[in-house]
Amino acid sequence: MSQPHSSSNAEQRPSKGGAVSDLAIELRGINKSFGPVRANRDIDLKVRRGTIHGIVGENGAGKSTLMSILYGFYTADSGEILVNGQPAHITDSRHALQLGIGMVHQHFMLVDNFSILENVILGAEDNALLASSLSKARKELKRLSDEYGLSVDPDAIVQDVSVGQQQRVEILKALYRGADTLILDEPTGVLTPEEADDLFRVLNVLRDQGKTVILITHKLREIMAITDFVSVMRQGQMVATMPTKDTSPEKLAELMVGRRVLLRVEKGSAHPGKPLLEVKNLVVADDLKVVRVKDVSFSVRAGEIVGIAGVAGNGQSELLESIAGMRDQLSGDVVLNGHVLSLEGDDGAHRARLAGLAHVPEDRQTEGLVVQFEEWENNILGYQHDPAYGRGLLDIAAARRQAEERMHKFDVRPANPRLKTANFSGGNQQKIVLAREMEQDPSVLIVGQPTRGVDIGAIEFIHNQIIKMRDAGKAILLVSVELDEIRSLSDRILVMFDGKIVGEADPATATEGELGLMMAGIGADGHAARSGAGAGPAHAVGGDQP
């Protein structure tokens, strides 16, 4: 992990031309209202040239609105934008680019079947003939790559290179267009720890070469590791800006939420019992018939949380879906409470539930919820056969009553079961799913990405609920791309790479580096695959340690 760069470093750098302001970007009294909703209120922000400036805040705090104003998507109602000390009226993103402001979006805007070179010049071609643009761009790309340590193969096709490389292409695109200030929106969400470190190295080089970087993230660890300054937004206001070295993650979290937040998950030691969920030699293919889960075996015991770490797209989704009965397995068995589940057919999820398995899916918007439904209708999703909701005819009154009780119990706001589900925030939607699945009193709970797109305040609640389930003797399988989450919740960690379990680790002792190596497919002890794939309790290590 990169060390925090001392801010004094930036101050020592001579500002070019003397007369030019040492502020790359200055925002003065920015206001943006959408009717009575004030998305940005009197925002002042100074971003010094040649620094990495982090902006943190919860969902809806106004970070994206602010960056959208800077990048020309919105126009501010009032306030001033100064770029390099000069007032600027940024009307669209093309204009922003002319002023040297480039943006790297969370979701890459690349043409998958174009080469890296072609992607870089896309929209910036000199003239109608491509060949001359390409050869010029090739030289320029080479220069940029060398200068900033962003090595890429210009002729590689984008879909063949890693996600980290694709992100480099996005950064190169911005630099190629002459960006001096780079805005990165949640850049590490899709990266392995290694790739994230690479990115941070690149950002450090960029900063040292005089570029300015604005980093939007919700990962406080990254803020601490890489930024020089950090600004915190809450409810449309800029509540603080300070040198990163003067603050701490706890303080930042408190500023973001407006109250004290427990960042560490507090849990007692696990007392695992007999295995409740056993997965044996599971092989699963995705929709394109590509085998994504390759002979995976493991078990989860009563009263323990087993976390599956891995970079997104290494077969975790297919594994979860298969265990939950949503995806047919090519071979292998899922054993619940000693009974082999028969999951084939497209109603396998129903049989899995009957056997005592509850499932919080990775994607609550398209799987776990029907967002067009009223809340109470989602409260029975998957359990609609339950006679408690009537026989044949729906007992709507009973379903609504139960939904409302659960909303109170899980602190879903507003606690109105007649409200359309799409109108709840991400955190509240996730609580609706959790309430439904946990209140079934299942013996096995499988959870995918429990806190994706969820506010810090709700994360705390969700984590505590999962621990509570564990302490009630349930077997819990957790899949998350947030390594921190896996490490703090799990009693045992399995690392998945390329469809295989490549290692097992004890969260109490494993370092992030070791896990990162395994997530990249390099076994901690040199053995790449199957080093931790053996099933059964005999193999389980470290489950009892806190």
Partner 1 sequence: MSARRPLPRWADVALLPVLNLVLALIVFSIFVLLIGQNPLQALAIMINGAFGYGEGVGFTLHFATSFVFTGLCVAVAAHAGLFNIGGEGQAYVASLGAIAVGFLMDHTVWWLVLPVAILASMAVGAAWAFIPGYLQAKRGSHVVITTIMFNFIASSLMAYLLVYVLKPVGVQEPSTANVVAAGKIPQLRQFFPWFGGAPLNMTIIFAILALIGVYILIWRTKFGYALRTLGHSPSASLYAGISNSRMIIIVMMISGALAGMVAVNEVLGVQSRIVIDVTAGYGFVGIAVALMGRNHPIGIALAAVLFGALYQGGLDLQFYMPAITRDMIVVIQALVIMFTGAMEGLLRPGLESAFMLYSPRQKADAVARETVGTES
Query: What's the closest the beta carbon of residue 395 comes to partner 1, in angstroms?
Result: 10
DSSP 30: E
The answer to whether residue 248 forms part of the interface with partner 1 (CB under 8 A) is no
Contact assessment for residue 241 and residue 231, using Cβ atoms and an 8 Å cutoff? yes
Residue with tokens 């009307």: 91
The least CB distance from residue 361 to partner 1, in Å, is 6
- Helices 512-519 and 193-208 pack at an angle, to 10 degrees, of 110
CB 11 within 8 A of CB 50: no
For partner 1, give the closer residue by CB, 393 or 538.
Answer: 393
- Of 357 and 489, nearer to partner 1 (C-beta) is 357
Cβ proximity to partner 1, 16 vs 420, nearer residue = 420
The identity of residue 261, as a single letter, is: V
Laid out side by side, the sheet with 492-497 consists of 357-360, 444-448, 475-479, 304-309, 492-497, 500-505
Would you count residue 393 as binding partner 1 (CB under 8 A)?
Answer: yes
- Of 482, 474, 493, the closest CA to residue 532 belongs to 493
Among 23, 24, 39, 305, binds partner 1 (CB under 8 A): 39
Query: Could you tell me which stretch among 141-149, 170-178, 280-288, 367-375 binds partner 1 (CB under 8 A)?
Result: 367-375
In the complex, least distance from residue 68 CB atom to partner 1, rounded to whole angstroms: 8
What per-residue string of b and e applies to 480-516 under the rule 16 or more CB within 10 Å gives b? bbbbebbbbbbbbbbbbbebbbbbbbbbeebeeebbb
Among the listed ranges 140-148, 381-389, 479-487, 536-544, the one in contact with partner 1 (CB under 8 A) is 381-389
- Cα angle: 318, vertex 313, 226; to 5 degrees: 140
CA distance 143 to 160: 23
Q: Which is nearer to partner 1, 431 or 500 (CB)?
A: 431
Nearer to partner 1, 377 or 504 (CB): 377
Task: Give CA–CA dist 120/138, Å, rounded.
Answer: 10
Q: Which is nearer to partner 1, 346 or 471 (CB)?
A: 346
Nearer to partner 1, 39 or 502 (CB): 39
| Least separation in angstroms between CB 28 and partner 1 | 22
Find residue 497's DSSP bridge partners: 500
Figure out which of the listed residues 14, 17, 18, 36 binds partner 1, where binding follows CB under 8 A. Answer: 36
User: Restricting to residues 313-352, which ones interact with partner 1 according to CB under 8 A?
Assistant: 324-326, 345-352
282 in Cβ contact with 343 (< 8 Å) = no
Rounded to a whole number of angstroms, the minimum distance from the CB of residue 412 to partner 1 is 17
355 sits near partner 1 (criterion: CB under 8 A): no
- Residues making contact with partner 1 (CB under 8 A): 34-37, 39, 59-61, 63-65, 73-74, 106, 185-186, 324-326, 345-353, 359, 361, 363, 366-373, 377, 380-382, 384-385, 389-390, 392-394, 396, 423, 425, 453
